[in-house]
């Protein structure tokens, strides 16, 4: 029977083979005595006594008299949770994209931006392929002091596809977070290759945002 364990965003199941591998991993690194730990850390056994007792109480490690210390249940579970977070895919987390066409007017884009409560809009062409992105800053810059801007199409002010940073569903959430930080942006379009066969044609299937990632982390923390 599979072993059920909580994860960020839902429930997953750990197979018996995975459980056996975890037990084997724990045996490989145990036991270790207090004297060995002290020697590795270059401190006295007495210095470690209180800290080791606390770790045993918190179930991070387990102790057996005259044998030594083993990795505890909590330490194993947290390591597995962290590995799960590192391996989580964008496709498991992304939200619905907010899309406008290249022909959408500035006025319509501003309305969409505030109705959807997002920081930017993904722009696609007539075939539904990614064409660019238009942000709040783009819209603000073009409308200030320009009474005729409201009728202009967003294609005139958007960031073009070639300069848009994207991710794909099979990319990890960690990779997406790195791109968000590196480019100092709030979200990324999630794209897949179009069936046209043209390398530059990308279909938009979602968007991943800072909020998505933070909610995932808070959900994981709440289960602790």
Q: What is the pLDDT along the chain (224 residues), one digit of tens a residue?
A: 443 433 334 433 344 554 445 444 444 556 888 788 778 888 887 887 787 777 777 766 777 777 787 776 665 555 666 666 778 899 999 999 999 999 999 999 999 999 999 999 999 999 999 999 999 999 999 999 898 999 999 999 999 999 999 999 999 999 999 999 999 999 999 999 998 888 889 999 999 999 999 988 887 766 65
Q: Measure Cα distances from 39 to 45, 48, 74, 90, 172 in Å.
A: 8, 11, 25, 43, 39
pTM passes above 0.75 = no
Q: Tens digits of per-residue pLDDT, 144-193?
A: 989 899 999 999 999 999 999 999 999 999 999 999 999 999 999 999 99
Q: Where are the alpha helices (DSSP H) in 117-195?
A: 136-143, 173-183
Cα 132 from Cα 165, distance rounded (Å): 10
- Enumerate residues 6+ apart whose C-beta is below 8 A from 78: none
Contacts of 173 (CB under 8 A, 6+ apart): 85, 88, 89, 90, 92, 93, 208, 213, 216
Q: Which helix (H) or strand (E) holds 49?
A: helix 45-57
Provide the token pair at 143: 């409308």
How many angstroms separate the CA atoms of 100 and 110, rounded? 11
CA-CA distance, 3 to 11, in Å (whole number)?
A: 11
Q: How far apart are CA 20 and CA 84, in angstroms?
A: 17
Please spell the DSSP secondary structure of 66-102, one letter per residue.
Answer: TTEEEE-HHHHHHHHHHHHHHH-BGGGT-B---EEET
């Amino acid at each position: 029977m599979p072993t059920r364990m909580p994860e960020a965003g839902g429930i997953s199941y750990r197979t018996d083979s995975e459980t056996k591998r975890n037990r084997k991993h724990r045996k490989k690194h145990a036991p270790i005595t207090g004297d060995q730990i002290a020697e590795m850390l270059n401190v006295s056994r007495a210095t470690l006594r209180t800290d080791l007792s606390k770790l045993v109480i918190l179930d991070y490690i387990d102790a057996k008299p005259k044998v030594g210390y083993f990795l505890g249940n909590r330490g194993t579970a947290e390591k597995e949770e962290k590995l799960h977070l590192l391996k989580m895919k964008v496709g498991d987390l992304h939200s619905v994209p907010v899309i406008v066409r290249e022909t959408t007017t500035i006025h319509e884009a501003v309305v969409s931006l505030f109705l959807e409560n997002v920081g930017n809009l993904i722009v696609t062409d007539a075939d539904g392929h990614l064409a660019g992105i238009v942000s709040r800053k783009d819209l603000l810059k073009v409308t200030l002091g320009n009474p005729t801007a409201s009728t202009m199409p967003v294609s005139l002010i958007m960031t073009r596809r070639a300069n848009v940073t994207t991710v794909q569903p099979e990319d990890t959430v960690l990779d997406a977070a790195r791109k968000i930080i590196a480019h100092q942006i709030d979200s990324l379009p999630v794209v897949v290759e179009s069936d046209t066969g043209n390398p530059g044609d990308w279909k938009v299937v979602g968007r991943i945002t800072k909020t998505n990632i933070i909610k995932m982390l808070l959900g994981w923390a709440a289960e602790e």
